[in-house]
Amino acid sequence: MSDQDTKLNFETMEAGDFKDFAKAMTDYIAEYLENIRDRQVVPSVKPGYLRPLVPEQAPEKAEPWTAVMADIERVVMSGVTHWHSPRFHAYFPTANSYPAIVADMLSGAIACIGFTWIASPACTELEVVMLDWLGQMLGLPESFLARSGGEAGGVIQGTASEATLVALLGAKNRTILRVKEKHPEWTDTEILSKLVGYCNKQAHSSVERAGLLGGVKLRSLQPDGKRRLRGDTLRDAIEEDTRNGLIPFYVVATLGTTSSCAFDALDEIGDVCNEHGVWLHVDAAYAGSAFICPEYRYLMKGVEKADSFNFNPHKWLLVNFDCSALWLKEPRWIIDAFNVDPLYLKHDMQGSAPDYRHWQIPLGRRFRALKLWFVLRLYGVENLQKHIRKHIALAHLFEKLCSADERFEIYEEVTMGLVCFRLNDSNEKNEELLRRINGRGKIHLVPSKIDDTYFLRLAICSRFSEESDIHVSWEEVKASADEVLKGQ
């Protein structure tokens, strides 16, 4: 084949076929999402289902895009769990909206890697402004925002787990430098062996993992009867460890625990952290989105005492994964901790805008601020508030239906879009209930266990969920309970 043939061939594909493919996919996406309710929420495939459906090797010759399109249902959708179906109630939600999908398309087209300001100035600058917009929407204190004119500001991380680790590394750096001022003779290794952090026993597993990755001790503390970490418990632990020669350096307060959506007593914890000069990080991965509604901000009282605050717009704010917002009052502790500056990444404007590569673990980063920009503009704060309030109202509807059936009990107070409930019966009966519910295949839930009590979690996940869907889900739970209790 001559060069000319190759050129012509690619031209036809790029200019014609592939654009048609993109347009056809756009229609398919809309059809998929608009009719998602009709799909079976969890597929019935077995492990290994996919390999026999595709060839052993990549094709030597290009295939028509229509062949790929034809395989999407057969190969992919047959094995997809439909997280955006109103029948999906597992985990916490993950967000999905057309504005965010379209923004991801544009980000894919620009396809820049925004590790420094000069690598794509719009990528950095839109992120700085979007994190200021978002911070104001939540009612975060100005001391977290770039617009305050100081060093503070926000950054988009991939996940809450990364945010917890990044904050821990900043806290570690700050503490090591402070301790060295007092004890210049101590080595880094000596100091590191004394560092200790704290979190609620109910904190997400990513907190424990951050401790392991950061090479420091983390203590899980016992919460009160409402699953909240309290200030006194933290104070006792810090004082005990200090007496034993350890150096308390980091606390994670969780607003909306994964198991039951409990809220740590942030105000009390903040006082203790400030008294002892300990870095306070707030993990509000799921529930943080609700703070755009002023009526829920009482749950983050004391946030001004924190050093870092994180939540996932990709969970509950209609911004597709990944988009985890982290604000830092003093990003220098992180920037300094991670700063390696090879010549090929230097540029003339260094210092006049953030080089976000210093604020995160990877070097590369996508243009994720576009998703925030499109979503915030095309929904407006008002419609995003409606979305949050609707999900919470739907959770209360399920709570009401469940509470009216004396066979059930509500395990945790419902404050957000999560209902924790169980049969008034043994753990085994509740395990059987969940098996039946998921086995019937109409809805999907996951369980949790706190202090040996097993319960079921029903999260409102889909942006398509309506009251009628909650009635369908309740009927499924009820029918499964009938089967379990009648011993069928």
Q: Which of 159, 274, 403, 427 binds ligand PLP (CB under 6 A)?
A: 159
289: contact with ligand PLP by CB under 6 A: no
Report how far residue 405's alpha carbon sits from residue 413's, in angstroms, rounded to the nearest whole number. Answer: 17
Q: Is 312 in the site for ligand PLP (CB under 6 A)?
A: yes
Indicate which single residue of 198, 286, 333, 374 sits in contact with ligand PLP (rule: CB under 6 A). Answer: 286
> Which residues are CB-neighbours of 317 under 8 A, at least 6 positions away?
95, 289, 292, 375, 384, 387
When asked if residue 161 is in the footprint of ligand PLP (CB under 6 A), the reply is yes
Q: Which residues pair with 454 in a beta bridge?
A: 449
> In Å, what is the CA distance from 210 to each residue of 67, 161, 213, 214, 381?
44, 7, 5, 6, 33
Pick the binder of ligand PLP from 96, 120, 324, 360 (CB under 6 A). Answer: 324
Cα-based angle 80, 389, 316 (whole degrees, multiple of 5): 40
Query: Which residue in 206, 308, 465, 473 binds ligand PLP (CB under 6 A)?
Result: 206
The reply to whether 326 sits near ligand PLP by the rule CB under 6 A is no
Query: Which residue(s) pair with 157 in the sheet?
Result: 324
Mark residue 97 as left, alpha or beta (left: phi above 0; alpha: psi -120 to 50; beta: remaining). Answer: beta
Sites for ligand PLP among residues 132-151 (CB under 6 A): none
Q: Is 228 in the site for ligand PLP (CB under 6 A)?
A: no
Whole-angstrom distance, CA of residue 485 vs CA of residue 130: 52
Please give the Cα distance from 310 to 326 (Å, whole number). Answer: 4
Nearest distance in Å: CB 324, ligand PLP: 5
Q: Which is nearer to ligand PLP, 155 or 481 (CB)?
A: 155
- Shortest distance (Å) from residue 138 CB to ligand PLP: 16
Q: Is the separation of the CB atoms in 117 and 347 below 8 Å?
A: yes
308 interacts with ligand PLP by CB under 6 A: no
Site size toward ligand PLP, by CB under 6 A: 15
| Residue number, 197 or 256, with CB nearest to ligand PLP | 256
Best CA proximity match to 412, nearest among 446, 449, 382: 449
283 binds ligand PLP (CB under 6 A): yes
Stretch that binds ligand PLP, among 56-64, 153-161, 216-224, 233-241 (CB under 6 A): 153-161
Least CB distance from residue 345 to ligand PLP, whole Å? Answer: 27
- Cα 286 from Cα 375, distance rounded (Å): 18
Q: Compare residues 120 and 157 and give the one whose CB is closer to ligand PLP.
A: 157
Residue nearer to ligand PLP on the CB measure, 418 or 481: 418
Q: Which of 202, 254, 462, 473 binds ligand PLP (CB under 6 A)?
A: 254
Tell me how far apart the 2 most distant CA atoms of the chain are, in Å. Answer: 79
Give, in order, the Cα–Cα distances in Å from 344 to each of 12, 115, 340, 348, 364: 37, 12, 11, 12, 14
E strand or H helix at 266? helix 266-276
Q: Does residue 204 belong to the site contacting ligand PLP (CB under 6 A)? A: yes
Q: Which string of x and - marks every residue 167-196 that binds ligand PLP (by CB under 6 A)? A: ------------------------------
120 binding ligand PLP? (CB under 6 A): no
Residues 80-99 that bind ligand PLP (CB under 6 A): 92
- Amino acid, res. 439: G
The CB-of-415 to ligand PLP minimum distance in angstroms stands at 14
Residue with tokens 């790929």: 68
Q: Which is nearer to ligand PLP, 384 or 416 (CB)?
A: 416
Stretch that binds ligand PLP, among 158-166, 375-383, 447-455, 461-469 (CB under 6 A): 158-166
**Residue nearer to ligand PLP on the CB measure, 256 or 302:** 256
* Piece of the chain touching ligand PLP by CB under 6 A; list 127-135, 154-162, 332-340, 402-410: 154-162
Q: Which is nearer to ligand PLP, 160 or 237 (CB)?
A: 160
In the chain, the N- to C-terminal Cα span, in Å, equals 69
Q: 3-state SS of the chain: helix, strand, coil percent to 5?
A: 50, 15, 35
Decide if 103 contacts 373 (C-beta within 8 A): yes
* Cβ-based neighbours of 442, under 8 Å, separated by 6 or more: 41, 87, 472, 476
Q: Is 182 exposed, middle or buried (0-12, 13-18, 19+ CB in 10 A)?
A: exposed
Q: Exactly one of 119, 160, 251, 369 binds ligand PLP (CB under 6 A); which one?
A: 160
Report the residue number, 254 or 385, with the smaller CB distance to ligand PLP: 254
Point out which span in 214-222, 256-264, 358-366, 415-423 binds ligand PLP (CB under 6 A).
256-264
Q: What length does the chain have?
A: 488
Cβ nearer to ligand PLP, comparing 103 with 285: 285
Q: Which positions touch ligand PLP (CB under 6 A)?
A: 92, 159-161, 204, 206, 254, 256-258, 283, 285-286, 312, 324
